[in-house]
Amino acid sequence: MSSHFTTPWAQILVLGTVITSMAAAQHGTTGGQWPTHGGDKGSSKYAPLDQITADNFGDLEVAWKWDSIDADVLAMDGVRVRPEKFESTPLMIDGILYTSTSFSQVAAINAGTGETIWKYDTGSWRDGRPSNMGFIHRGVSYWRDGDDERIIIATGNSKLIALNAKTGKPIPSFGENGRIDLFIGLNRRATLKTHQVNSPPIICRDVIITGCVIGDAVRTKEGLRGDVRAYDVRTGEKLWQFVSIPQEGEFGNETWEDGSWKYSGNTNVWSLISADEDLGYVYLPFGAATSDYYGGHRPGDNLFANSLVCVDVETGERVWHFQTVHHDLWDYDLPCAPNLVDVVVDGKPIKAVAQVSKTGMCYVFDRVTGEPVWPIIERPVPQSTLPGEKTSPTQPFPTKPPPFSTLGVTEETLADFAPELKQQALEIIKEYGFAPVFTPPTEKGVFMAPGAGGGANWPGAAFDPETSILYVAAESYVEFFKVGKPDPNRSTLNYRRVENHGVSGPKGRSLIKSPSGIIAIDLNTGTQVWVAPTFGGDGLSLSALWTHPLATKSLVIAGKRSSILALDKTTGKRIGVFGLNDANGNAIGVVTGSPMTYMHEGKQYIVAATTDKDLKGSLVALALP
């Protein structure tokens, strides 16, 4: 672990800062606003609002519906591009919502009526479909200094743009006429096929910090590196660049053996970032290295892939890190913003950070020092039989909290609803055999649980600072995948993924015991409180329909499929369901963005992004009559 504090006096100063700043902890939103993607910069996704309660949730109605301005683009002559899912979480500041669209357009919307105030087309869509997931975008960032209010967007075609929040016009003094080209300054030439941004940057102490999406359907061991970069919010001046794969002489370089640091790529923060303004620390959740399912060309543990890295916002220097998966072969990214949480463990107040992962585990650290709040132990795991592969002999397992998803396909984890169903499950897996968690890929094929989608994914978790309960959006499912030798004339990889898909159990049920849905975890004790199972389907075929959590003073809100659900915070019992249906009861869309809530002119609203079967996006606002 590296630290800027190297003297006893400095350590005493840090301790004093920790104690005195507990009063300025992460407490969710204030003043009825929603100023960042996660509500606050610690990504609590919590609002201390209680106008909408268990008693009146059933009285909710649609207050307004805003249709994405991407329709304006689609109406143009000759336009052939099409949006993907609408995944934006809008911000709300002083009665105005700010949102991005799938095409990386930006709009300001009246928080009470849903009427568009201004809109700005970044032009991102004109360059064509971005890498990986295509035309999706998850939101914008907001910054204010007196009367200077700015909306910051990092676009699908890798531009960082600053807009005047009042007018929607670019800020001329930022970068070049309001924009910065994020293709510049990378280790290799970037293209739309290899680099994009679809998550909002974090802004901390007037510094914009942005990650990126790196294309991961690769055919070569040589890749674009996913460095994290920081820019001055006023001028756009580049301030620092955190190199995600340590170069020669840098800390962690030895974890890339045989010189693999020279050519390996990915190792990027593709999802959301959290920050602690008091400490001046930024928390970066990194994903896997090139390529996801074979690492014979990158022997070693491969820092900072699959690592939570704390950096100093002023310098970009590493303060501490923890790697959750060594030498990843399962695409087990850290897929979401870490939750900054203030907890009391065994009577000791701790400024902590909780990171949920695709592994189905929650890793909890002191966010000042990086020390685990509860021990995380290295356990032996199955080893690879593929030629050239060098698996890590162990992987880290938290002793607390318990896993929130089922780990591995084993005798103990198979679903056992009835003896005959378990026997049928055994028949399904007989050809390939059991697969404990972290079983490496093979040419024959193996089962994997959690699947490559998690566990947790980008919706992450919500945290109630009043009770210290973490509400995790969890999935448990089985995936089958295998690798094979590629055409050497088209690839420099020894092996690459050739098949992967989900696996169902008997009669379409889960193959494993499946606590999917919202999982409540007490972070004062590291224990699981309750499980609210996955909610039913609706017939729409959009893939990767995650559960999206939101916590208020009175309820846990979950966006899932074509519904907004309310859960009892103490028990997880379902209180009510608001179906996003038309007059005939047919689903008009599914929830594809994380919901948020705010107060405006004395009324509480819940707003969520939805996508219909024709991939048209809308924001739907619910409120009491």
Which SS3 state, helix, strand or coil, does residue 160 take?
A: strand
pLDDT, mean of residues 118-146? 96
Domain count, the chain: 1
Domain-embedded: residue 156: yes
Query: pLDDT-derived band of residue 218, with 50, 70 and 90 as boundaries?
Result: confident
pLDDT of 409 reads 96
> Any residues with CB less than 8 A from the CB of 180 and at least 6 apart, and which?
159, 160, 161, 174, 231, 236, 238
Domain-embedded: residue 3: no
pLDDT, mean of residues 266-278? 98
Tell me the CA distances in angstroms from 154 to 2, 135, 179, 269, one per residue in order. Answer: 30, 13, 9, 13
Residue 27 pLDDT exceeds 80: no
pLDDT, mean of residues 379-407? 97
pLDDT, mean of residues 376-386? 97
pLDDT, mean of residues 545-574? 93
pLDDT of 588 reads 79
Domain-embedded: residue 90: yes
Domain that holds residue 457: 8-623
Which SS3 state, helix, strand or coil, does residue 470 take?
A: strand
pLDDT of 508 reads 81
pLDDT, mean of residues 45-54? 98
pLDDT of 26 reads 55
pTM: 0.95
Domain-embedded: residue 329: yes
pLDDT, mean of residues 214-239? 95
Beta bridge partners, 240, equal 230
Domain-embedded: residue 464: yes
d(CA 359, CA 328): 11
Percent of the chain having pLDDT more than 90? 85
pLDDT of 538 reads 53
Question: What's the mean per-residue pLDDT of the chain?
Answer: 92
pLDDT of 569 reads 96
Query: pLDDT-derived band of residue 6, with 50, 70 and 90 as boundaries?
Result: very low
pLDDT of 420 reads 84
pLDDT of 220 reads 93
Domain-embedded: residue 2: no
Say which CATH number the domain at 303 has: 2.140.10.10
Measured in degrees and rounded to the nearest 5, phi and psi for residue 560 equal -150, 130
Counted residue by residue, the chain has a size of 625
pLDDT, mean of residues 214-218? 86
Burial call 36-54: b when 16+ CB within 10 Å, e when fewer: bbbbbbbbbbbbbbebbbe
Domain-embedded: residue 378: yes
pLDDT of 10 reads 38
Domain-embedded: residue 397: yes
Across 155-211, the runs of DSSP E, i.e. the strands, are 159-164, 179-181, 195-196, 202-204, 207-210
**Better-predicted residue by pLDDT, 526 or 513:** 526
Residue 473 pLDDT exceeds 50: yes
